A and B are shown apart, each in its own frame.
Chain A
Amino acid sequence: MVSVLNSIDTAHEDMIHDAQLDYYGTKLATCSSDRSIKVFDVKGGQQRLITDLRGHDGPVWQLAWGHPMFGNLIASCGYDRKVIIWKETNGTWGKLYEYSNHDSSVNSVCFAPHELGLVLACGSSDGSISILTSTGDGSWDAKKIKNAHTIGCNAVSWAPALAPNALFDQTGRPTLVKKLVSGGCDNLVKIWREEDGEWIEDQKLEGHSDWVRDVAWAPSIGLPRSIIASCSQDCRVIIWSNDGTSNTWNSAILNKFKDVVWHLSWSITGNILAVSGGDNK
């Protein structure tokens, strides 16, 4: 019983590369090769164009909405090596911050869980991952993981802020973890962890035989395990799981598709995965 709620004609002039709904599911943002980002109000089946954001000098690859406790925020990244954070203030959208310290196309952006504050991770074809942290006074602190993936990083995704092993912790307040997973052209999936302000490689997962196109860390609903899905140019989707106590990750090939698989998305309960790839399905 899956029904179409809404169908939005975006009127983009070229291919759409990403579409994302905000926290409440009322606003839709799309980005395209025509260098623009469009935001629509889709509340209650309507489709009203709120704004058309221009600022990228090349195709825009991916978008991410921030948590509403920080206001209405969109981060976008594109071929022009820029990451732009857009903010709505009193109904008008404008650039909040522009980060252009990458040497090649930025392929992926992802906001961290809101418990960690306003933090954004960006993966670029120059092989590095940038972590931008809002200091709260309007400026942003950038940390770079250099050479995270040789040849290029294609996707980043944050882990839930509460580590699964913290669920057994009885000593008091659970500690939050800053972890993220990335996939790149070296066919690897890597897990990164922040320790004392430095990002270090936690795990390296080998399994794909071609570029990893997307990674997605499943949201946690309080189960003592972590799950990561990764998909690759080799047409495979691999599910990596960790039992929360040890440091080993078990892999299972979910499926081998006929064409490149380039996008993954978990449902909020973490039990359904949407897979999409080059076959337009």
Chain B
Amino acid sequence: MSQWGESVTVEFGDLQATCMGLDCLGKWAVLPGRRVLALVDLDNPVEKVHRLTRQSKYDISCVQWNPHASHAHWFSSASMHKLELYSWDNASSKQVCTMKAHTRNISDIDWSPFDVNVIASCSVDAYTLLWDVREPKRPCASFQSVCGASQVKWNKVTNNMFATSHEGDVRIWDPRKGNTPVLYHTAHLAKIHGLDWSPFKENCFTTASQDGSAKFWDHTNFRQYKGMLKSGLPVWRAKYTPFGDGLISVVMSTLSRGDNSLFMWNNLSLNEPVHQFVGHMGTVVEYMWRKKKEDEKDYQLVSWSRDQNLKIWKVDSQLQRLCGHEVLDCVDETLLESTDSTREVLQSMSAPEVTMGTSQSERQTMTLMQEFSLVNKFIPNVTINVLDSANRYCSMSINSGKHAICVTVTFPEEYPNNAPPNFDLTSSTGLPPALIKKLLRVMNETIQKSVKKNLNCLEPCIRQVASAFDSMNLEERKTPDTDPFPVTGGFHAPFIHPLPFSGYQDNSIPFPRTCGAQFNSVGLLICFRRSKEAIIGEEKTPKALSELAVISSTNRVRSATSSASYALYSRSPPTPKSEIGSVGQWYIQNKRQRTKSRTFKDIPEGKRSIGDKDRVVKDKKRKGMRLEPVLIYDTHYLLNIHRELGEKYSLNLNNLTAMCEHNKIEAASVGRRDLVRLWSLIPVIHNPSLHPDLNPDAGTPWAQRPLGRGMVESLMNHYKSIGDIQTLAMLCCVFWDRNYFQSLSSLNSNAIKKSASKVSLEFEPVNFNSDTMFGSSTDSGWNFLPMSDNALSPSSQLTTISSPMATIAMAPNSSTPSRAMVKLKRSNSYNDLSFEDYKFADESQPKETIEEQERKQHESNCRMLDPSKYVQFDHMLKVYADILARWGLRNQAAHIKKHVTVRPQSHSGIAEDIIEFGVRCFKCETEVRGVKCTNCGHPAFHCAICHTGVKGSSNFCLNCGHGGHSSHMQEWFKHETQCPSGCGCLCLKWNPF
């Protein structure tokens, strides 16, 4: 392996820069320090350095120059969650714009290599945003994932493709495809630090990971990596060389052992690096290729390290050749030989390279001391007593409820490399040993998980135990005698569960609605909104709830626990008033910040927000949240339906003219002129002279003429379009009578009814009064409402039958004339009544069919509304009835519902369906469901009196199951109360009928 020193080294000890950017012309490097922004002229890095002071206490996390020569003077930098764009003009820089939308620190930015104005930024807030710098107010696209991204990189060869890394996963996105990644793949098991696309191959990229490897991928075939480069230490970056097929990688060195060189690899032989750039004293944080001048053969690599040195390395054609790059104008035999010889040398030298990561103790991700210093001392319920890194020992106590446990931890020398620390639990308050065991198990699981990956595990472990302990105590508290929280009653402080992932998913919970308008009930509109002081103006409303957490955490008074910021609601203090980071506060804070920022623009941001927070907290204490009242609006006028009309409309089809006259006046009183005209039109349509003739040969019925059905339908279409369900329903009532359906259904159900007659005495009472039009209308026995639907005969004064009793009494008397009418008019509605003799029905039906069809066709032609749409009309009636019910007008609703053709199912359940009783055949003892036994052919049911099988109607006791012919039973129970079978059952008492 060849090793060369750097060609140029410049130290900037004061800068403290954490990243570096090179412009695309190869002229400038920018090094953003905390206080100053240094712009280094790479041609003369020692002397030509411009320092620009900046006023922010936050580090710039990443910086990048625009890669397009036309806008080479632009560079953008990210600090905290802000993205800033600067324009650099030789000696001065100017801020072009600021882009704010991320809610947490930006981890990486990348300019699109194809669009000069587009920059991508990714952040730990789980969003990757694309910005168009001409429109800096909001991102032009956003891509969300479950966990935050560490890198974002555009494909260098093809447009519309970029990759992001999330922990160990890589997602590849196409901005045109929206929020769903094109590909999603787990590349490493540990965090990916670096991602780089191949400059030549469209589908290839590399990933560098914490797990000590860098992998090569082809995203068209993601199942298997194309190659892997192993190193004992976490790989920080692995970037392609702009020539040949090479790679340069950097590992993350630890305090104890530093290997701060840059390694160059030939991608075809990944066993050992081909070159090592030695010289940096600290970890290299960034390295980039400088644009080479056209006449130059050598590439220059610029690197920036934690030791605050900028180094420029020359990569000559010989090195390029090592990476498989053919330098055309320089085919030099000797050089080739020399590379061979270096390679030989290299093999012998590569030994330390291999051992680099083998020594276990050196591989520590963090020393114990470091870990201790980083442990969050403010975990809820946990008090840390001792942290002694010298003796590798710590102890803490965890409290929850009335119990407390003491935890002591000792760390073996090798920790955390496959050597779990020892935990010891003692309880001072007599915690049952079973629970202690449980806690130990929880702890061991956590430890194993971390130690397997050689990760430090103290803090996650403490957290797990604390929450497990807490939930155990919770269970205990839930026992009835100790339950301090009654379920109902006045206000009490609710106990908050420590939700296991609280806050973790907040970024996918949408930002809550704080205002809204809601149509409810009928014509009422409710509005609720924020108070005036919480109106946010031009600023865009945030998207996800997680933004609340960010705001509350950045604004929190410093002494507060930082862990609570994630647990937005779940761990905040129980009383709502002191709740930190509620939605309401978000608005108020936001408002205040804005008003302040207008007046005091020069105050650094950090100070401002802290001051603000204090102020808000004080304000909060003084007065509670002011809320706007909820308003209820009456929007009936927008809806074309009127409560007054619903209440006052009359629906008396027996006297249509009077009804229309009445409704006309009502419509006029609410100012609906169109309805006035409609109601005056209806009697005209219903003029008796237009009534259809029963005889199909008498000419086209009125309904089929242009002003008949067509007009009614166009009227209905008009009211449909304006959403006037009220008028629609009234029209349905007027022009539609449900007899049509009943006659239809009675035909269909004839067969069923015949078989049904064995159980029940079924009367089909007949209404004889309206014999003018269709013969009579049938009223089925279960309808207990008086019929008022003889719509087409308004002139005849009806004597409607008002009770079922009356109908039943009447029906037998008038059975003779009714049958005569059947013969005369062939109205099928008589079928049920007259076909007592089945044979008669069977014989007559074939003869009837043709005429029947013709007659039915005629009948449907006579109607003013298309009979085929009855379901639709029914639905309109139901909707209107529902509206009336909402108004509390139940009588009116019931009137409307009477016009519905199809009865609701619940009604028909008992009345129409046949109730069948299983019978045990008295001869052969088999279970029979019908009249006759399927086994022996005898009538199955046995009469208790005459001891023969029952063929016709039967009655039996629901209690003892005995019974027999209806006539026998009736006679028996005229005098007796006990069962005729002699079983002793008091049948009359048990059967209320």
A residues at B contact (CB < 8 Å): 1-25, 28, 30, 33-36, 42, 52, 54-59, 61, 79-81, 92, 94-95, 103-105, 107, 125-126, 150-152, 154, 162, 166-170, 172-174, 185-187, 209-211, 213, 219-224, 233, 259-260, 262-263, 265-272, 274-281
Beyond A13-B625, A21-B520, 6 additional contacts (C-beta under 8 Å) are A3-B633, A3-B634, A19-B630, A169-B871, A278-B511, A279-B541
Given A58-B569, A59-B569, A79-B569, the answer on whether A12 and B627 have CB atoms closer than 8 Å is yes
Whether, in the assembled complex, B528 has its beta carbon less than 8 Å from a beta carbon of chain A, the answer is yes
Given A7-B630, A174-B871, the answer on whether A15 and B723 have CB atoms closer than 8 Å is no
CA distance A241 to B146 in the complex (A): 33
13 contacts between A and B (CB under 8 A): A2-B633, A4-B632, A5-B634, A8-B629, A152-B505, A168-B868, A185-B179, A209-B141, A221-B876, A268-B639, A272-B723, A276-B513, A278-B511
Whether, in the assembled complex, B604 has its beta carbon less than 8 Å from a beta carbon of chain A, the answer is no
Which 9 pairs, one residue from A and one from B, show the smallest C-beta to C-beta distance? A278-B541, A25-B521, A271-B723, A21-B520, A269-B723, A222-B876, A1-B637, A274-B517, A167-B872
By the criterion CB–CB under 8 Å, are A267 and B518 in contact? no
The count of chain B contact residues (Cβ–Cβ below 8 Å) is 94
Given A57-B497, A187-B179, the answer on whether A222 and B518 have CB atoms closer than 8 Å is no
How far apart are B665's CB and chain A's nearest CB, in angstroms?
21
Interface string of B719-740 (1 = CB under 8 A from A): 0101111001000000000000
Given A94-B487, A280-B535, the answer on whether A25 and B524 have CB atoms closer than 8 Å is yes
Across the interface, name the chain A residue whose C-beta is closest to B179. A187
Residues of B within 8 A of A11 (CB): 627
Across the interface, name the chain B residue whose C-beta is closest to A38. B630
By the criterion CB–CB under 8 Å, are B722 and A94 in contact? no
Whether, in the assembled complex, B641 has its beta carbon less than 8 Å from a beta carbon of chain A, the answer is yes
Q: Which of B525-552 contact A (CB under 8 A)?
A: 525-530, 535-536, 540-541, 543, 545
By the criterion CB–CB under 8 Å, are A265 and B519 in contact? yes
By the criterion CB–CB under 8 Å, are A278 and B633 in contact? no
CA distance A9 to B625 in the complex (A): 12
Residues of A within 8 A of B634 (CB): 2-5
Residues of B within 8 A of A221 (CB): 720, 723, 725, 728, 875-876, 879
CA distance A276 to B146 in the complex (A): 28
Q: Give chain A's interface secondary structure class.
A: loop
By the criterion CB–CB under 8 Å, are A15 and B526 in contact? no
Whether, in the assembled complex, B902 has its beta carbon less than 8 Å from a beta carbon of chain A, the answer is yes
Across the interface, name the chain B residue whose C-beta is closest to A212. B510
Given A30-B630, A271-B722, the answer on whether A35 and B635 have CB atoms closer than 8 Å is no
CA distance A263 to B510 in the complex (A): 12
Residues of B within 8 A of A54 (CB): 491-492, 494
Residues of B within 8 A of A169 (CB): 871
Residues of A within 8 A of B875 (CB): 162, 167, 174, 220-222
Across the interface, name the chain A residue whose C-beta is closest to B879. A221
CA distance A141 to B517 in the complex (A): 32
Q: Which of B589-632 contact A (CB under 8 A)?
A: 624-625, 627, 629-632
Given A168-B869, A276-B516, the answer on whether A107 and B509 have CB atoms closer than 8 Å is yes
Residues of B within 8 A of A224 (CB): 872
Whether, in the assembled complex, B444 has its beta carbon less than 8 Å from a beta carbon of chain A, the answer is no
By the criterion CB–CB under 8 Å, are A16 and B528 in contact? yes
Residues of B within 8 A of A223 (CB): 720
How far apart are A149's CB and chain B's nearest CB, in angstroms?
10
CA distance A91 to B525 in the complex (A): 26
By the criterion CB–CB under 8 Å, are B520 and A25 in contact? yes
Whether, in the assembled complex, B433 has its beta carbon less than 8 Å from a beta carbon of chain A, the answer is no
By the criterion CB–CB under 8 Å, are A260 and B541 in contact? yes
Given A59-B512, A105-B545, the answer on whether A5 and B517 have CB atoms closer than 8 Å is no
Given A42-B632, A260-B541, the answer on whether A270 and B723 have CB atoms closer than 8 Å is yes
By the criterion CB–CB under 8 Å, are A233 and B576 in contact? no
CA distance A222 to B488 in the complex (A): 44
Residues of A within 8 A of B872 (CB): 167-168, 222, 224
CA distance A23 to B639 in the complex (A): 17
Residue in B511, B521, B633, B639 whose CB lies within 8 Å of A22: B521
By the criterion CB–CB under 8 Å, are A14 and B516 in contact? no
Whether, in the assembled complex, B514 has its beta carbon less than 8 Å from a beta carbon of chain A, the answer is yes
Residues of A within 8 A of B487 (CB): 55, 94-95
Given A5-B524, A24-B886, A57-B570, the answer on whether A104 and B509 have CB atoms closer than 8 Å is yes
Residues of A within 8 A of B728 (CB): 221-222
Q: Which of A10, A30, A222, A267 has the most CB of B within 10 A?
A: A222
Whether, in the assembled complex, B584 has its beta carbon less than 8 Å from a beta carbon of chain A, the answer is yes
Residues of A within 8 A of B505 (CB): 103-105, 125-126, 152
By the criterion CB–CB under 8 Å, are B512 and A274 in contact? no
How far apart are A91's CB and chain B's nearest CB, in angstroms?
13
Whether, in the assembled complex, B806 has its beta carbon less than 8 Å from a beta carbon of chain A, the answer is no
CA distance A274 to B631 in the complex (A): 14
Q: Which of B141, B625, B905 has the most CB of A within 10 A?
A: B625
Residue in A59, A187, A267, A271 whose CB lies within 8 Å of B583: A59
Given A33-B583, A35-B494, A187-B179, the answer on whether A10 and B627 have CB atoms closer than 8 Å is yes
Residues of A within 8 A of B144 (CB): 151, 185
CA distance A7 to B526 in the complex (A): 10
Across the interface, name the chain A residue whose C-beta is closest to B497. A57
Residues of B within 8 A of A280 (CB): 514-515, 529-530, 535-536
Given A21-B632, A54-B491, A187-B179, the answer on whether A173 and B509 have CB atoms closer than 8 Å is no
Across the interface, name the chain B residue whose C-beta is closest to A173. B902
CA distance A223 to B720 in the complex (A): 7
Across the interface, name the chain B residue whose C-beta is closest to A152. B508
By the criterion CB–CB under 8 Å, are A17 and B638 in contact? no
CA distance A17 to B179 in the complex (A): 27
Interface string of B483-497 (1 = CB under 8 A from A): 000011001101111
By the criterion CB–CB under 8 Å, are A6 and B632 in contact? yes
Residues of B within 8 A of A30 (CB): 528, 630
Residues of B within 8 A of A150 (CB): 180
Whether, in the assembled complex, B105 has its beta carbon less than 8 Å from a beta carbon of chain A, the answer is no
By the criterion CB–CB under 8 Å, are A233 and B521 in contact? no
Residues of A within 8 A of B520 (CB): 20-22, 25, 265
Whether, in the assembled complex, B9 has its beta carbon less than 8 Å from a beta carbon of chain A, the answer is no
CA distance A271 to B527 in the complex (A): 19
How far apart are A179's CB and chain B's nearest CB, in angstroms?
16
Residues of A within 8 A of B625 (CB): 12-15
Across the interface, name the chain A residue whose C-beta is closest to B882. A268
Residues of B within 8 A of A8 (CB): 629-632
By the criterion CB–CB under 8 Å, are A17 and B627 in contact? no
Residues of A within 8 A of B508 (CB): 104, 125, 151-152, 185
How far apart are B966's CB and chain A's nearest CB, in angstroms?
32
Residues of B within 8 A of A33 (CB): 512, 576, 582-584
Residues of B within 8 A of A16 (CB): 514, 528, 627, 630
By the criterion CB–CB under 8 Å, are B641 and A274 in contact? no
Across the interface, name the chain B residue whose C-beta is closest to A214. B513
How far apart are A122's CB and chain B's nearest CB, in angstroms?
14
Residues of B within 8 A of A107 (CB): 509-510
Whether, in the assembled complex, B178 has its beta carbon less than 8 Å from a beta carbon of chain A, the answer is yes
Interface string of B700-725 (1 = CB under 8 A from A): 00000000000000000000101111
Across the interface, name the chain A residue whose C-beta is closest to B876. A222
How far apart are B551's CB and chain A's nearest CB, in angstroms?
15
CA distance A163 to B270 in the complex (A): 65
Residue in A7, A28, A55, A262 whose CB lies within 8 Å of B510: A262
By the criterion CB–CB under 8 Å, are B869 and A167 in contact? yes
Q: Which of B536, B570, B577, B871 has the most CB of A within 10 A?
A: B871
Residues of B within 8 A of A5 (CB): 524, 632-634
